[in-house]
Amino acid sequence: MNNDSLNRLKTLISNKTHRVCILLHTNPDGDSAGSSLGLYGYLKKEGFIEVDVVSPDELPAFLKWMPWTEVVTFANENPELAKQKILDADIIFCLDFNGYNRVNSLETTLSNAPGLKILVDHHPNPSSGFNLIFSEIHISSASELLYKLIAALGDESKIDKPIAECLYSGIITDTGSFSYGCNNPETYQITSKLIALGVDGEAIHNLIYNTNTFSRMRLLGHCLGEKLEIVEPGNAAFISLTQSELSNFDHQKGDTEGFVNYALKIQGIRLAAIFIEKKDHIKISFRSVGNVDVNLFAREFFSGGGHKNASGGKSVESLSDAVLKFKNLANSFISRF
């Protein structure tokens, strides 16, 4: 971690009267919520008087149990208040995202906000526009990075059980419960410390992964039984879902989260995608194994980006055209690696 940046951060947060705003990214996931709420808990414990947390969108149901979710202002419910909180802040923390475009409807507000912008993130290619950058792309999650940052500030002992619950949630969701991006011993050392602080790993696993609705499980069954397709000769696979299919299964926000990973469970598949038809665009998630770089794939062909093995993109073409484009590009892209 860069010492100059660390010293600047230390100085900045020594003034507890600074108004702080913590910003989540659009469609927040476990790491976005975990790192942001963990930081909220830490800063409140540090004695900051005014700390706001703003999210572009609602939290998925499986994260609503997390500590301090009641303090979050959601831009989808209260756009003006959300914008005001960003504009009023002296310090704006951006965790788990790498550019203004990741906060959707709040992008212009963030870009115009006069506060000092601090990035704490693990995505590649952080964009300019941040005043202070803590970007570590080899760390499992922004939550793990935040733990290291708090420790580097000399405040490891201030991490308590609710903060630990937030960070633990971020680490397990960004590593698929230690199934990818999980070969760094330090991830387990930090996780071990979180458990020692009283985190109930079993309970959190149940809260995050075992609270499916019946209709979501049936939608998954539909995807696996009827919609999963393989691109010959068998290194890419995808699922596509129309709006009417989603409504047939009483689709709720977040229901298709993780479905794309099932395609990677097939032997030989190195690149997987799921195409979800939205009102005015197609939302796409990509996953890959090994060297196949879906951050690059999403950037080059589907107006998106993310990590090497997990990224997202979109298309304004029809669902069938977006799928066709994927089918045409997949094999030659995989052969580059």
- Select the residue interacting with Mn ion from 96, 255, 277, 293 (CB under 5 A): 96
The answer to whether 174 contacts Mn ion (rule: CB under 5 A) is: yes
Task: Report yes or no: 131 and 9 within 8 Å, Cβ to Cβ.
Answer: no
Q: Residue 174 or 277: which CB sits closer to Mn ion? A: 174
Give the Cβ contact number of residue 328 at 10 Å: 12
Q: State in angstroms the smallest separation of the CB of 130 from Mn ion.
A: 16
Q: State in angstroms the smallest separation of the CB of 114 from Mn ion.
A: 27
Residue 70 CB-density burial (10 A; 0-12 exposed, 13-18 middle, 19+ buried): exposed
Residue with tokens 């093995």: 309
Q: Residue 31 or 165: which CB sits closer to Mn ion? A: 31
Q: State in angstroms the smallest separation of the CB of 128 from Mn ion.
A: 20
Token code pair at residue 54: 């703003």
The answer to whether 277 contacts Mn ion (rule: CB under 5 A) is: no
Q: State in angstroms the smallest separation of the CB of 40 from Mn ion.
A: 17
Token code pair at residue 178: 């230690």
Q: What is the x/- site pattern for Mn ion, positions 124-143, by CB under 5 A?
A: -----------------xx-
DSSP state of 36: H
Give the Cβ contact number of residue 17 at 10 Å: 9
Q: What is the x/- site pattern for Mn ion, positions 11-40, by CB under 5 A?
A: --------------------x---------
Give me the residue whose beta carbon is nearest to Mn ion: 31
Contact window for Mn ion (CB under 5 A) among 173-181, 232-240, 262-270, 298-306? 173-181
CA dihedral 281, 317, 296, 333 (to 10 degrees): 140
What is the Cα Rg of the chain in Å? 20
| Count of residues that interact with Mn ion, criterion CB under 5 A | 5
Contact window for Mn ion (CB under 5 A) among 167-175, 178-186, 211-219, 268-276? 167-175
DSSP state of 306: E
Contact window for Mn ion (CB under 5 A) among 7-15, 166-174, 179-187, 240-248? 166-174
Q: State in angstroms the smallest separation of the CB of 96 from Mn ion.
A: 4
Find the helix packing angle between 30-46 and 142-152, rounded to 10°: 20
The answer to whether 144 contacts Mn ion (rule: CB under 5 A) is: no
Residue 12 CB-density burial (10 A; 0-12 exposed, 13-18 middle, 19+ buried): middle
Could you list the residues that contact Mn ion (CB under 5 A)? 31, 96, 141-142, 174
